[in-house]
Structure 1
C-alpha cells in the first residue's frame, strides 16, 4: 500500500522521515491511536523490550514480576514471544515447584499472547486481571506491529543491554573518535517516535530505563568505556540507566525451577539464600522507581496442591540445593 503522503507533494510525517521502517499503517500516530481508542488499562504497564535477543529481557521480566508479587502486588505477566515463551515457561516451572514442594509461592497471573493483535493483548490483560497493580509485557527481540504497541503501551520501558558497543548501537550511534552521539539507532528511533506521539495524543510519558545486564568479569577499561558511552547516550536520548543482574550461575540454574533468590526463605530446610543476589534483585526493583505500598502477598498459585511422595519432595529440594 502506498502512503498517503507519497506523490502528494506534502512532506512525509516526521516519524517516517526519521525512521523509514514505519509504513503508512504503522507510523506512530496510527500505533498510538490504535491504543487510545480502546478502554483505558488501569495497571501500571512495564514493558521489557529491545530489538536484540540474548540480552536478558525475559530473565529481568521474570525477576521483576516475582519481586512485585513478593511485596504483595497483584501482577499480570504476558509473554509476547509465542515461539520461545521463556517468561511463560519460567512461571509454569514455578507452579510446578510449588506443587512438588507443597508450598505457596507468590506468583503472577500469566499467559502467552497467542494472537499478536492489539485486541487480543487487551483481552488477555483484562482476562488475567484488569484490576491488577502491574502488567509485565515481555516483548520478542524483533520489530513487529505488536512489539511497537507493547512499547507504546508502556508507562515504564525497560531495555536490557549487555556491556557491548554492539548493543549500544541499537540505542544510538557514537562518533568512534570524539565519542559524541550522532544519531539514534533503530530501536532508539522507534522509542523516540512513540514517546513523542504518546505526548501528542495526551497518553502520558514513557519513562525509559536502560539496564546494563549480564555483566561479566571483564577488563575494567572496557567496562569503563561502555559506561561512559551509555552515559552520553542517556543524555542524548533521555533515558535513565539502571543495573540489571550479573552473570551468575545461580540465576540461570534457579530459573529451571521457576525460582528466584527471594523465594529460598519460603522453602523449608533450604540453604541460606545468597544475600548479594537478593540485593541485586532489590536494586533492580529500586532502579525502576515504581510506586506501590508493600502488602502481605496474596498472589499465589490457585492450582490445588499436588499429592507428592515425601521422597520426591526431598529429591526436588536436593536438586534446588545443588543448583545453588
Structure 2
C-alpha cells in the first residue's frame, strides 16, 4: 500500500482543503454507528468519467442476477443516471417481448446523504446478496462513503496514461511510482482508516476497460506502468470489456449477451462476448452461490399489441 512521506502528507492536506475539508476519519465516523451491511458491497468508482463504470456495473449486476443472486443496484449519478436507464430499458424489453429477465432491484439516489443511502438499501432489498454502487465520476462526500463501504472496489480505466495519473504518478524516465494521484490518495486513506478501525478490508481491483486491438504497442507500455502502480498501491488488475458494438448497442434494450438465450426466436449470442463477461466475473473473484435465476422487477403481464412486439423483436435482431 502507498506510504506517505512528509511532502505527500502536505499534498494530501492541500488536496482535502480544495474540497470540504473532510478527513477519512470523519467519513468512517459517519458509517461506524450505522448497522453493518450484510450484503457484499461492490462499488464502481473513479474520479474520471467515460471509463465504463456504468457499463461494467450494469453487466455485473445482470450477471449476478443470472446466477440467482439477489442484487440491489444504486445509481449515485443523479444527473446522467446511466445505470438506472439501462435497467429501466431492461424492464421495458421484458414487457414488450413478454419474457422474464433476471434483474436487480434498482434506484437512483436523488438525495446524496448517508441516511438516504441506507434507507434505499433497506427499501430495495435488506436481504440482498450483493449491493452495487455506481458512483458519479467526481469527488464528493457520498462518493467517499460508498468507497469506504465497499468490500470490493472496482475502478475501470482506459488504456491511457491520463487515466493512470488519477491512480498514481510515475517518473516518465525511470517509470518508478512517485506519489499517489488524487483518487489513489482517497482510496488509500479510506482503506487505512477502515482497517485501523477493524471495519473490514477494501479489496481494490483496477479493470482495464475498452481495450482496442489496434493499440497493442501502446497497451504494452500502459500494462507495464499499471503493474508498477499495482504493487505500490496494493490493487489487483482485471481485464474488462473490449470496445465493441455488441456491448454498446444492446444497452438501449437493457440487455447483455447473457440474456439472448432467454428470448425466443432471437439471434444467438456471440460466444466471444459471453466469454468476456464470464471471464470478468471470474477475474473479480466474487463468491457466488449457485441458485436458480430469479425474474427480478419485470412486467411480464402487461398487454402489448402483437404488431408492437414484432417490431420490437425486429429492431433487436437488426442490432444483433
Contact 1:19 1:186 in 2 (8 A): no
TM normalised by structure 1 equals: 0.93
The one of 20, 35, 49 aligned to 1:39:
35
TM-score by length of 2: 0.95
Distance in structure 1 (CA, Å) of the matches to 2:65 and 2:91: 14
- Does 1:298 find its partner at 2:294? yes
Whichever structure has more helix as a proportion of its residues is 2
Aligned-pair distance for 1:305?
Answer: 2.2
Residues 100, 300 of structure 2: 8 Å contact kept: no
Residues 213 and 245 of structure 1 are in contact (CA less than 8 Å); yes or no, is this contact kept in structure 2?
A: yes
Instruction: From 253, 259, 270, give the equivalent of 1:257.
Output: 253
Where in structure 2 are there 5+ consecutive unaligned residues?
Answer: 1-5
Superposition map of 1:1-324 within 5 A: 18-23=12-17, 26-324=22-320
Change (3 A) 1:19 1:316: farther
CA offset digits 1:9-42 (Å, max 9, x no partner): xxx9x97763533357510001011111111111
Could you report, residue by residue, the CA deviation over 1:146-192 in whole angstroms, capped at 9, with x for unpaired residues?
00001001000000000000000000001100111110000000000
Gaps of 5+ in 1: 1-11
Query: After superposition, what is the alpha-carbon deviation per residue over 1:88-113, rounded to whole angstroms, capped at 9, x for unaligned?
Result: 00000000000000000001000000
Describe the SS at the equivalent of 1:280. Answer: helix
Q: Take 1:304 and 1:277, find their aligned partners in 2: how far apart are those partners? A: 27
Partners of 2:287 and 2:156 lie apart in 1 by 21
Rounded to whole Å, the distance in 2 between the matches of 1:253 and 1:185 is 34
Q: How many residues align?
A: 312
Q: Is the CA contact 2:94–2:300 (under 8 Å) kept in the aligned structure 1?
A: no
- Supply the distance in 2 between the matched residues of 1:263 and 1:302 (Cα, whole angstroms): 14
